[in-house]
Amino acid sequence: DTGVSQDPRHKITKRGQNVTFRCDPISEHNRLYWYRQTLGQGPEFLTYFQNEAQLEKSRLLSDRFSAERPKGSFSTLEIQRTEQGDSAMYLCASSSEAGEAFFGQGTRLTVV
Amino acid sequence: GDSVTQMEGPVTLSEEAFLTINCTYTATGYPSLFWYVQYPGEGLQLLLKATKADDKGSNKGFEATYRKETTSFHLEKGSVQVSDSAVYFCALSVGPSGTYKYIFGTGTRLKVLA
């Protein structure tokens, strides 16, 4: 297994467009997390799945954001009607029941 | 709510100097504590962890001890190298009493000069 994989690595979009990011976790991991990181800051929690169930969503996650993990494997994060303030690195991580979180390389979103 | 506070950077040291990066936490349950490192242009990597009070995590010459009485998890290394230059993040995770999400500090940038 090659670790947590995120696609795309970079995305430039115009304001108002929709974007979707994909995360493939480590195969035996049942927990999956999405984080957002802006320059000079630590990762901020967005949402968390255990298998296919979305157990927690941050207040940071406005109605324009939606995440899914339909079969308890890969996950997608969609941002509708993007705004310049959405520009950030979006990080995905996964973990097993008792293990630590492993992070992907992230998707860097730039909204112009 | 749960939170992590770590010392602001940047921290600039000469090679072979002693490193301490302070981290304190607030948690309603009994957290596990972590240090993650982010090298330039790379993703977050787990450096070390401790899951209960008085545990010492260690890796690559770095150490941190889980101090419940002072709610701290300070990162130390006896002799830093240029290759240690990176951003270091302290984090906690509370579970099973919590939701297992990870809460991060703002990061401390370390620059080691040859």
Chain A residues inside the 8 Å CB shell of B35: none
Query: What CA–CA distance (Å, rounded) separates B78 from B87?
Result: 18
The reply to whether residue B42 touches residue A102, judged by beta carbons under 8 angstroms, is no
What local confidence, expressed as pLDDT, does residue A71 receive? 86
pLDDT value of residue B101: 84
Q: How far apart are the first and last CA of chain A?
A: 36
Q: Give residue B114's pLDDT band: very low, low, confident or very high (50, 70, 90).
A: very high
Kind of pairing between the strands at B11-14 and B108-113: parallel
Cβ-based neighbours of B99, under 8 Å, separated by 6 or more: A48, A55, A56
DSSP character for B32? E
User: Which pLDDT band, with edges at 50, 70 and 90, does A59 fall under?
Assistant: confident
Q: How far apart are CA B24 and CA A111, in angstroms?
A: 35
**What is the reported pLDDT for B96?**
58
Q: Which residue among A31, A42, A56 places its CB closest to the CB of B89?
A: A42
With a CB cutoff of 8 Å and minimum separation 6, the contacts of A57 are A46, A47
Contacts of B33 in chain A (CB under 8 A): none
Within a 13 Å sphere around the CA of A9, how many CA atoms are in the beta-carbon half? Answer: 5
Structure-block tokens of residue B80: 């830093």
pLDDT of residue B42: 86
Distance CA(B114)–CA(B111), nearest Å, equals 10
Instruction: Report the Cα B83 to chain-centroid distance in Å.
Output: 17
The mean pLDDT value of chain B amounts to: 92
pLDDT class of B50 with cuts at 50, 70, 90: very high
| Pairwise CA distance, residues B83 & B69, whole Å | 33
Q: What is the reported pLDDT for B104?
A: 95
Using the beta-carbon criterion (under 8 Å), do A55 and B99 form an inter-chain contact?
yes
Q: Centre a 10 Å sphere on the Cβ of residue A10 and count the other Cβ atoms it contains.
A: 10
Chain A residues near residue B107 by CB distance under 8 angstroms: 40-42
Cβ–Cβ below 8 Å for A48 and B100: yes
Residues of chain A positioned with their CB less than 8 A from the CB of B103: 45
- B11 touches A at CB < 8 Å: no
Supply the pLDDT for residue B37: 97
